[in-house]
Amino acid sequence: MRELTYWQAISEATVQCMAEDPTVLVLGEGVDDHKGTFGTTKTAFERYGAARVVDVPNSENACAGIAIGAAANGMRPLVVHTRADFMFLAMDALVNLAAKWRYMYGDQGGAPVVTRGVVGRGWGQGATHSQSPHATFGHYAGLYVATPASPADAKGLLVQALRGDTPVVLIENRNLYPMTGPVPEEPEPVPFGVGRIARAGDDVTVVAASLMVAEALRAADQLATRGVGVEVVDVRSIRPLDERIICESVARTGRLVVADTSWARYGFAAEVAAVVAETVPEALRAPVRRVTLPDCPAPVSWPLEEAFHPGADEIVEACLALVGDRRGELPRLTSAAAGFHGPY
């Protein structure tokens, strides 16, 4: 199978869905410029022009309202935010309207608007530019929330979102855009709520989302040299969440680490820990470990922000603690996001 980067996979999914469905249109700030939102909307604009790839001003709430109204009238809007932080300005439209439309109006049609939000550390851009709000949106019934970790899933989940009837939030970590991997040429959908075993192992389960899947795989590679088998579960979507694949893995290994790019409290890591505690409590041979952000906003300093975000090294430490081992001579690991140079 040919290989694409993560951003190329998103671009291809967008173009193919626009080709097969004339009601699909793209809205966002800068979707029509020469960079095309990290390249993901550039080809769509070149092929379909400003009538279907629409640049909008800084008006997140208004744009979400327009998109939801269009979706309720049969269109398929794809809204793109180059900074997911500003999706908070669209919360009323997404949570109070899109998520509840079908329930409030007796299943007389929904508002299947799709929203892409880009997250991830920058170079010390501070508290309002370095947060990952997937758990915030995942809290609300009526929304699907996905965190693709591979190029194939970046394409397949977007295809599924643009064909489905449920409003969807797709959270993309900008540090994944250069990642390459096999991607089907056809627009094959990847269903929500079906996770995957990214790596098999017998000693510790690491449940991860988005960029932390890559970090978990790097940690697993190093721990294998110590004889510790790490099973990496990529949930793909946090709502719906594939509870079965999580619980079956923990039932095999008896140990759980949850790795996330957001905070521990009330977040994805807390939800996974609760699911395991409720479903397979007898399987746990050690307390659950969470690898997440420190409980404070992101600092405005590149070196401090580098220290703020956890990565493979922290996952290694958590796994070793669960199996009663110590790091010893194992070398430190750099983050999968090391070397990021922007532009955002």
**Hey, which residues are catalytic here?**
129
Is the CB of residue 336 less than 8 Å from the CB of residue 156?
no
Q: What distance, in Å, lies between the first and last C-alpha atoms of the chain?
A: 31
> How far apart, in whole angstroms, are the C-alpha atoms of residue 189 and residue 152?
10
Both tokens of 237, joined, read 């979507």
Q: Three-class SS of residue 254?
A: coil
> How far apart, in whole angstroms, are the C-alpha atoms of residue 95 and residue 332?
42
What is 89-135 written as a DSSP string? GGHIIIIIIITTHHHHTTTS-----EEEEEE---SS--TTSS--THH
Is the CB of residue 195 less than 8 Å from the CB of residue 170?
no
Q: Three-class SS of residue 294?
A: coil
The candidate with the shortest Cα–Cα distance to 36, out of 50, 24, 23, 22, is 50
Is the CB of residue 302 less than 8 Å from the CB of residue 124?
yes
Both tokens of 176, joined, read 């994944």
Please, what is the Cα angle at 88 between 85 and 93, to 5 degrees?
140
Using a 10 angstrom Cβ sphere, with 0-12 exposed, 13-18 middle and 19 or more buried, the burial of residue 328 is exposed
Identify the helix (H) or strand (E) that includes residue 320. Answer: helix 312-322
> How far apart, in whole angstroms, are the C-alpha atoms of residue 117 and residue 109?
25
> How far apart, in whole angstroms, are the C-alpha atoms of residue 75 and residue 282?
48
Residue listed under structure tokens 């996905």: 146
Using the Cα atoms of residue 312, residue 234, residue 238 and residue 202 in order, give the sign of their dihedral: negative
